Amino acid sequence: MAYDEGTAARVRKLLAGQRHVAEKKMMGGLCFMVDNTMCCTVSGRGGMLIRVGPEAHARMLEEPYTSPMEMRGRIMRGFVRVAPEGYQSDTDLKRWVKRGLNFVASSPKESKSKKAAPRRAADKTKAKVTTKAKPTAKTAPRGQARKGPRH
């Protein structure tokens, strides 16, 4: 099922002033990423998925027209599904998108120091030469057990 293009256009309009916004087709709909973090998704199953974080999850489920997000039989804590009736007005949609943006703003940013250093090509003069051990009478071919007592 395709996602609702009208809702996607409304979300695009709300996020137009944000920096580092990207759209990706994933999770069965169109996902809006802000600073490489999922903010919200216009779902292909109808409604929207809003990322609110695990701390706000239970509180957001008390809101009208919300339900837990279920993926492959598991409840995804930190995400809520909002039925289309929950964001019919522009004010309601803005409120839900703002909740997703609040999660993005509160999530820790990736630091450049945590990323792995790029690998360098091995220097041919310092490269270790490894040779494969030849099977001897005491070693069995790979995948086969040795027969007889060990010496």
| Spans of all domains in the chain | 5-12+21-106
User: What is the pLDDT, as a whole number, of residue 36?
Assistant: 92
Residue 47 CA to residue 65 CA, distance in Å, equals 10
Q: Which band of pLDDT confidence, cut at 50, 70 and 90, is reported for residue 114?
A: very low
Residue 141 CA to residue 135 CA, distance in Å, equals 7
Q: For residue range 44-60, what is the model confidence (pLDDT) as tens digits? A: 888 999 999 999 999 99
pLDDT of 116 > 60? The answer is no
Out of 3.40.50, 1.20.1650, 3.90.1150, 1.10.3470, which CATH number does the structure's domain 5-12+21-106 have? 3.90.1150
CB 39 within 8 A of CB 101: yes
Predicted TM-score (pTM) above 0.75: no
For residue 12, count CB atoms less than 10 angstroms from its CB and return exposed for 0-12, middle for 13-18, buried for 19 or more. middle
User: What is the pLDDT, as a whole number, of residue 27?
Assistant: 74
Number of Cβ within a 10 Å radius of residue 96: 23
The two three-digit tokens of residue 60, written as one number: 């957001």
User: What is the pLDDT, as a whole number, of residue 130?
Assistant: 57
Q: For residue range 70-113, what is the model confidence (pLDDT) as tens digits? A: 888 899 999 999 999 999 999 999 999 999 999 999 987 765 44
Alpha carbon distances (Å) from 45 to 1, 4, 67, 138 = 6, 9, 13, 62
Q: What is the phi/psi pair of residue 105, to 5°?
A: -65, -30
